[in-house]
Amino acid sequence: MKCFVGLDISSTKLEVCIMTNDIEMKVLFSATFGNDIIGASEIKEQVLRFNDIYHFERIVIGMEATSLYSFHPAMFFYEDSELKQLRVEVMIEQPAKIKKYREAFEENKNDTLDAFYIADYFRIERFTKSYLKEEKYNALQHLTRTRLQLIEQLVRTKQHFIENIYYKCNTLSIELKNHQLSTNIWSATIMTLMVEDYTLDELASLPLEKFVELIQKLGRGKFKAPDKLAKVIQAAITGSYRLSHVQQDSVNTVLSLLAREIRSLEKMIKEIDRAIEDMVEVLPEYQCLTSVPGIGKVFAAGIIAEIGQIDRFKDHPQVAKYAGLNWKENQSGNTSSQNTSLVKRGNRYLRYYLVEAVDSVRRHNVEYAEFYKKKDEVPKHKHKRAVVLTARKLVRLVDVLLRNHQPYTPPRRFMEDN
């Protein structure tokens, strides 16, 4: 006889249903506990008590992946020494799969029933084994996921900054881009000119020599052609609309706040990058992934943190599916559609780090550059499509390197070309 424990988890409660897989599908226990160590310990004691009675040949504790809320219960049952002696399997499943299973039954929805259907879902044993990651990977994951969240916040803040720069000097970004200057809108000098107490009219009326001196002072003498930059900025100011005094004050206030937020976020990202690098260097997988040209410490850390121990996955297609780098099949009769959409139900953090890593790899690796080039020969979404397909190719390499504990070696023909 086998035992299946279904947990429906919220921030405060653990709804539990314990059932067997015999013909009667007997529900042994159903109750509600607090989502804390006391509640989890009560559930553990019930599992041990029923095992003493029935001597189960297999015990599975299953729950939905609710990220923050399921983390502590999952780790509690996974790390408990008494449950380990019984070889208890702790499984986490995608909520969408359990939801689809439950929708096949027309019943009322409540937490007690949810726990029952979670247990029943695992009872039919059609789930994919999902072993929990070891503590070191979870620790690294806190850093890499926070880094991505900071990056996303920085992107949003920069977008707001650009919008307000347009209000203040609407031709500046265009002029900088058209003259192909190495300086862009995110230059500390440009941001200071737009944020500090300089009006556009004051900057426009400055003699060129004085403006060049100001730019060199703000840029600490790093500009190779400060006179050209000064002319471009003054031309942008001259060609831009002027705001009323009241509107100008409000835009300046917003720009100042956004500039401070950008600088603060960039500082935090640098700090978290250092913490990631310190932690990832002690992991054995680090040497494997960073041996691939283009994969640096941060990208390697993000991939390692999300994959964890590679033995959690049967093969590279399973890793790709976990990352959401797989495509829906669209086939009917003898026809198969070539226009299929990417399945984005997987781990968005792993997908992000794989895509970002391969976008760097293709700039350093001939094999991946050639593959990328073949895949961007389409009329729409060229780069996006090509980089995602190339990321799927990278998954195979990552799987091989991590599974075999080996550094990257380029294929012979690419070694000969070099």
The DSSP line for 380-397 is SSHHHHHHHHHHHHHHHH
**Owning domain of residue 329:** 284-414
Closest CA to 393 of 365, 352, 358: 358
Residues 296 and 264 in one domain: no
Specify whether 19 is located in the same domain as 122: yes
CATH of the domain at 14: 3.30.420.40
- 3-state secondary structure (DSSP) of residue 19: strand
Domain-embedded: residue 184: yes
* 146 plus 241 within the same structural domain: yes
Residues 270 and 290 in one domain: no
List of E strands, 287-412: 326-327, 331-332, 335-336, 342-343
Residues 330, 363: one domain? yes
Domain co-membership, 407 together with 331: yes
Within a domain: residue 279? Answer: no
Number of folded domains that form the chain: 3
Neighbours of 285 (CB within 10 A): 22
Q: What are phi and psi of 139, to 5 degrees?
A: -65, -45
Same domain, 179 and 268: yes
Whether residue 390 contacts residue 404, with contact meaning beta carbons closer than 8 Å, is answered with no
pTM: 0.78
154 residue type, one letter: L
Same domain, 255 and 300: no
Query: Does residue 397 form part of some domain?
Result: yes
Q: Which of 209, 244, 274 is the last residue of a domain?
A: 274
Tell me, yes or no, whether 269 and 391 share the same domain.
no
Q: Is residue 340 included in any domain, yes or no?
A: yes
Residue 137 lies in a domain: no
| In a shared domain, residues 6 and 125 | yes
Question: 154, 259 in Cβ contact below 8 A?
Answer: no
Residues 165 and 126 in one domain: no
Asked if residue 295 is part of any domain, the answer here is: yes
The amino acid at 72: H
Question: Looking at 108, 132, 156, which one is the last position of a domain?
Answer: 132
Residue 259 and residue 186 share a domain: yes
Q: What is the pLDDT along the chain (418 residues), one digit of tens a residue?
A: 999 999 999 999 999 999 998 777 789 999 999 999 999 999 999 999 999 999 999 999 999 988 789 889 999 999 999 999 999 999 988 888 888 888 888 666 666 789 999 999 999 887 766 667 788 999 999 999 999 999 999 999 999 999 999 999 999 988 888 887 778 888 888 898 888 777 888 888 999 999 999 999 988 888 888 899 999 999 999 999 998 989 888 999 999 999 999 999 999 999 999 999 999 988 989 999 999 999 999 999 999 999 999 998 999 999 999 999 976 554 444 444 445 555 557 889 999 999 999 999 999 999 999 999 988 776 677 888 899 999 999 999 999 999 999 999 887 765 555 5
Q: Does 405 map to a domain?
A: yes
State which of 81, 113, 132 marks the end of a domain: 132
Q: Which residues pair with 335 in a beta bridge?
A: 332
Task: Answer yes or no: is 255 within a domain.
Answer: yes
Residue labelled with tokens 């937490």: 111
